[in-house]
Structure 1
Amino acid sequence: MNRRTLWIGLFSILFLIMLSTAAFASDFRFGKHFSDHTFIGPFNVSGLTEAEAIAKLTDNFVEMTEKAQVALLYVDTVVHVPVELLELNVRETVKQAQSGIDNPIKADVSVNGLTTLLAQQLPIIHPSTASIEKIAAAIEKEMETGIMPVAVQVIDYLEETELPLSEIYSFNFPVDRVSQQLNNAFDRIDGLEVGPFETISMMEVLDGIELSDDEMSILSSVVYQAVLQTNFTILERHTRSSLTPFVEGGFEAAMNQSLGLDFTFENPNKTSYRFRTDKMSDSIKITINGPAFYYSYVPYISEFTSYKPRSVKQFSAFVNEGHTVVANEGREGAEFVVDRNIILNDEVVRTEHVSKDYYPPVPRIELHPLTNKTASTSLSQELQNQGEDREGANTNQNEMNGKLMENNDSSSNRNMNSPENEIIEGQAIYDKSGLPIKGK
């Protein structure tokens, strides 16, 4: 009985070995079949053998490679990787694929080709071979899904010593214009870090420092000039009806605490930058330190237009005859158009519009004495000007002049102290807008 049991066991083992051998031979000869819900990248290979999957994916991979969009991102520039540096390995992809799951695409990136590309397109960085291999591996990892476009941040795979840092010069502000409060505010700016994709609000930065709106506007304008020399995005900026004192036209970033008018900007890069303020004997220098930009940004005033103020004559009973009082000296208006050159290797790559700031002129207002002679002359001149714009100007003018003379004759016979002609002492004289005019 034991012998019989032994023979049965040996026969079972032999049968299983033969069955396994037959299955292996069949799989080797005909190729394994992928079960349902088997994908390689975005391609469905369910029910296909390895040979059939290779045949299908070969054409798909060729088309995918031709349309591949692989980009290397560095701060403010994009470097496109040529398709010649990319290869999708069909056989290795199918060999590693497992049934019933989503499988990655095996991509290969030429390290030598990538080294040449970075040396030509990004000469400001000096990556080691190890860093370039990391960048190549990152591209291969991103291409596993087969979804385009693919973007890789170069700066994520560089060592700190391989990342160039720069001091972006901005502005020297004279120290004789700095109050103690403004000096404290400059100290607050020193060391301010702007992280990746971070938004900075000057209201929040200066919170807790007692500053006037003028002082806050001066400081934010200085920061604005610094920011214009980067690729930072301006989110909120305001100007006044008249230029803030000590601020250069076209570069104003006015603030108003009561109205909540702020100056805000955003760092669109995956790198951090830090503001520095250096106090010198005659000025305060503000700079931005961080990874070097690929381009240089140079803002400038491309157009300037000045507007002369109008002279407005007004008449007041409070101005003595023979005298003129200047109620408002007036102010010239101005318009500043600011553009910015984007420069690479001392050549202007492109020019972009930044802003157009307009400051309206303020009219010069002169107060003249109010007399009967003046009033009559002014009325006569006004009637004459109206008559010249109509047909039959001479006839109408003569009639109006005659009426005017009659009015003057009759008014000369009237009592000048009558209520309709009396000028009451202390009575306010109003201009056309309804505001009282003050004179001496």
Structure 2
Amino acid sequence: MKNRHLIQLLAPMFIMTVLYVGVSQLGVFLYEKITSVSFIQNAEAASVDLSGKTKKQAIKLLETKVESWKGEQEIMLSFDGRDVLLESDAIAFHFKESVGALKEQGNSPLIVSIDEAGLNGFIEERFPGYHLDQFPGLQKRIEDATSMLKVEETINLDEYFEGEENVFYAGELDKIEVTPGLSSFIDANPVIDIPANARFSFLEFLDSNGSSVSSPDDLGPVASLLYELILHTDLAIAERNISTGLPPYATLGLEARVNPVTGQDLVFMNARDSAYTVTFSLHDNTLKAQISGMASPYEYKVRTTGKKEYPPRVVKQFSAFIPQGVLATTQEGKKGRLITVYRDKYSSDGDVIDEERISEDFYAPANRVEIWPLNAAETDATQSDDVSVQDQEDEDGSSESDSEGSTEGIREDSPEIEGDDAAPADEEEGAMDEQQSPDGNKNGTADKKDSSDVKTATKKKKEEK
């Protein structure tokens, strides 16, 4: 009896407890079920619309999209002259975490992780000699690209490559004239830093360092050697000037002129994330320099083509102050020169992967100026007549006819002209008229044809025949 009363007493309490716990758990279950039926409107993950989807539906949809993306994606890694397709095996997608981290509005990225060992093995296989540690920041860049399921993108590994300190090129100019200005500049600036992601101007560098050197002759060797150095790197030339004539210390195609007075400058750009360092040294009459920085997988070489030379012309002047048989020269002639400069980019395998046309340098020839005695003008004019007559004989095929009408024949046979003081001037004028005849025949001027002296000389010619 007592047990029955105890059961009757405890039974209601047990039932009430079960009901209380069951109802509370059922409420939580129903609440979660109701609140997780759909997402907030316009919710997206990696541009995949998930509006109105349950979590399971969203996860399933994302899994399908990612599998399709793996077969379509063309994310390329470009480096050392090669472009390789990124393998997606090293990329892990976390769908539940991605759905749980969705933003209420907007496009949310997927949560991804990359197997570092797998990515490192991929780089070592496709780019022999390199490994993941040499590309800090690359892993994050790949995660950003894949988390948005980008189908096409090229990731340039040059932007992330960091090698050891390396000397890219060393050059020198020998047998230069060491001026006080040049020596002062080297003493004050043995090292020039070219900052990362910056523009470098030679004139601005002079101003910022308070340099007093202003002569282009003092700065020419430094600017030319600096220009030669940067042509062996990836530095981009923005401005460069040359002299009117190639200086004796410079190599054709590698000269650069800087003049603070006229504003002629040497400007170039460093697009790398690391700086370059240029060091100068002066030994006797030799200027040496080298450029160094973080190592690059590429090598840059200078190539020249189309080299030509143009001979100078001779300009003759006549003066009464020059004695007979004496020749004075007021300006020595110089050859003109032309050359085209290219910069070739080589991969680590020695293959040319790019060529850049840098410049076409032209130095005009300088005329040779000679001063002759005044009485040499007659001889010079006579020689010009002979050349003109010979040219006419070749054209007409009749030397007999030409000799009869030549001014040289008139000078020999006509007494009227032999005693005339103005004869040399007339002969020179006749030669010019014959050379300028548009139809190729020797035609004198109207005044020359009507001259009684010319008629007399022609008549005597006929009589002699």
**TM-score range, shorter-chain basis?**
0.7 to 0.9
Which residue matches 1:171?
A: 171
1:410 Cα shift?
3.1
Write the distance in 2 (CA, Å) between the matches of 1:206 and 1:236. Answer: 16
How far apart are residue 232 of structure 1 and its match? 0.7
Q: Structure 2 CA distance, aligned partners of 1:12 and 1:346?
A: 77
Aligned to 1:435: none
How much has 1:308 moved relative to structure 2?
Answer: 3.1
Name which of 53, 60, 67 aligns with 1:48: 53
Counterpart Cα distance in 2 of 1:312 and 1:385: 23
Q: Is the 8 A contact 2:135 2:157 kept in 1?
A: no
Counterparts of 1:135 and 1:200, CA distance in 2: 28
Q: Which residue does 2:222 correspond to in 1? A: 219
- Are the counterparts in 1 of residues 185 and 213 from structure 2 also a CA contact under 8 Å? no
Give me the whole-angstrom Cα distance separating, in 1, the residues matched to 2:59 and 2:349: 51
Amino acid at match of 2:405: E
Asked if residue 263 in structure 1 is aligned to residue 266 in structure 2, the reply is: yes
Using a 3 Å threshold, how does the CA distance of structure 1 residues 393 and 256 change in structure 2: closer, same or farther?
farther
Q: Which residue of 2 aligns with 1:21?
A: 29
Q: Corresponding residue for 2:14?
A: none
**Which residue of 342, 346, 370 corresponds with 1:366?**
370
Q: What SS is found at the alignment partner of 1:192?
A: strand
* Residue 241 in structure 1 maps to residue 239 in structure 2: no
| TM-score after normalising by structure 2 | 0.71
Question: For residue 193 of structure 2, what is the aligned residue in structure 1?
Answer: 193
| Distance of 2:329 and 2:407 partners within structure 1 | 32
| Deviation of the 1:39 alpha carbon | 1.3
Counterpart of 1:196, as a letter, is: A
SS in 2 for 1:204: helix
CA deviation string 1:240-292 (max 9, x = no partner): 22112311221101223333221111111111122222455674431222211
**Residue in structure 1 matched with residue 99 of structure 2 by the alignment:** 94
Post-superposition shift, 1:16?
Answer: 7.6
Q: Does 1:399 align with 2:402?
A: no
How far has the Cα of 1:220 moved from its partner?
0.8
CA distance in 1, matches of 2:296, 2:384: 68
Distance in 1, matches of 2:26 and 2:302, equals 82
Alpha-carbon distance between aligned partners in 2 of 1:278 and 1:249, rounded to the nearest angstrom? 23
Match of 1:347 in 2: 350
1:9-54 per-residue CA deviation (whole Å, 9 max, x = no partner) reads xx99997865543343467xxx631221211122222223334434
Q: Write the distance in 1 (CA, Å) between the matches of 2:403 and 2:231.
A: 62
Between the aligned partners of 1:231 and 1:344, the Cα distance in structure 2 is: 13
Q: How does 1:67-146 map to 2 (within 5 A)?
A: 67-70=72-75, 80=84, 82-87=86-91, 89=93, 91-92=95-96, 93-120=98-125, 135-146=138-149
Secondary structure of the residue aligned to 1:149 is strand
Q: Partners of 2:55 and 2:139 in 1: how far apart?
A: 28
Distance in 2 between residues matched to 1:221 and 1:15, nearest whole Å = 89
- Select the structure of larger CA radius of gyration: 2
**Structure 1 residue 125: Cα displacement:** 5.9
DSSP-derived class of the 2:255 partner = coil
Alpha-carbon spacing, 1:265–1:188, altered in 2? closer, same or farther (3 Å): farther
TM normalised by structure 1 equals 0.75
Whether contact under 8 Å (1:174, 1:283) holds in the other structure is yes
SS in 2 for 1:224: helix
* Residue 32 (structure 2) pairs with residue 32 (structure 1): no
Letter in 2 for 1:179: T
Q: How far, CA to CA, are the matches of 1:33 and 1:150 in structure 2?
A: 37
Partner of 1:204: 204
Find the aligned partners of 1:15 and 1:407 in 2 and give their Cα distance.
145
AA paired with 1:222? L
Q: Once structures 1 and 2 are overlaid, which stretch shifts more, 266-275 or 379-388?
A: 379-388
How much has 1:96 moved relative to structure 2?
3.7
Counterpart secondary structure, 1:271: coil
| Residue 324 of structure 1 pairs with residue 327 of structure 2 | yes
Identity %: 21
By how many angstroms is 1:391 displaced?
A: 4.5
1:294, distance to aligned residue in structure 2 (A): 0.9
Conservation of the 8 A alpha-carbon contact between 1:114 and 1:132: no
Q: Measure, in 1, the Cα distance between the counterparts of 2:360 and 2:406.
A: 49
Supply the distance in 1 between the matched residues of 2:112 and 2:193 (Cα, whole angstroms): 39
Q: What is the 5 A alignment of 1:420-439? A: none
CA distance in 1, matches of 2:406, 2:175: 66
Q: How many residues align?
A: 399
Deviation at 1:114, TM superposition (A): 1.4
Residues 191/370 of structure 1: CA separation in 2 closer, same or farther (3 Å cut)? closer
Distance 1:12 1:291 in 2: 72
Instruction: Quote the Cα distance in structure 2 between the aligned partners of 1:188 and 1:77.
Output: 40
Q: Aligned residue for 1:60? A: 65
Q: CA deviation at 1:200?
A: 0.6
Q: Which has the higher helix share?
A: 2
Unmatched segments (≥5 aa) in structure 2: 1-18, 427-465
Over 3 Å counting, the alpha-carbon distance change for 1:239 and 1:152 in structure 2 is: closer
Deviation string 1:387-435 (CA, Å, 9 cap, x unpaired) is 3475576535523448844996434444x499x99xxxxxxxxxxxxxx
Amino acid at match of 2:86: P
Worse overlay, 260-269 or 358-367: 358-367
Counterpart secondary structure, 1:182: helix
| Alpha-carbon contact 1:331-1:364 (below 8 Å) kept | yes
Moved more, 280-289 or 263-272: 280-289
The aligned residue for residue 430 of structure 1 is none
SS of 1:220 mapped into structure 2: helix
Partner-residue secondary structure (3-state), 2:191:
coil
Asked if 1 retains the 8 angstrom alpha-carbon contact of 2:411 and 2:417, the reply is: no
Distance 1:157 1:358 in 2: 38
Match of 1:427 in 2: none
* Matched residue type, 2:260: Q
1:224: how far off? 0.7
Q: 1:361/1:24 Cα in 2 relative to 1: closer, same or farther (>3 Å)?
A: same
**Secondary structure in 2 matching 1:114:** helix
Instruction: Provide the residue aligned with 1:289 in structure 2.
Output: 292
**Displacement of 1:82 after TM fit?**
1.7
**CA–CA distance in structure 2, aligned partners of residues 216 and 122 of structure 1:** 43
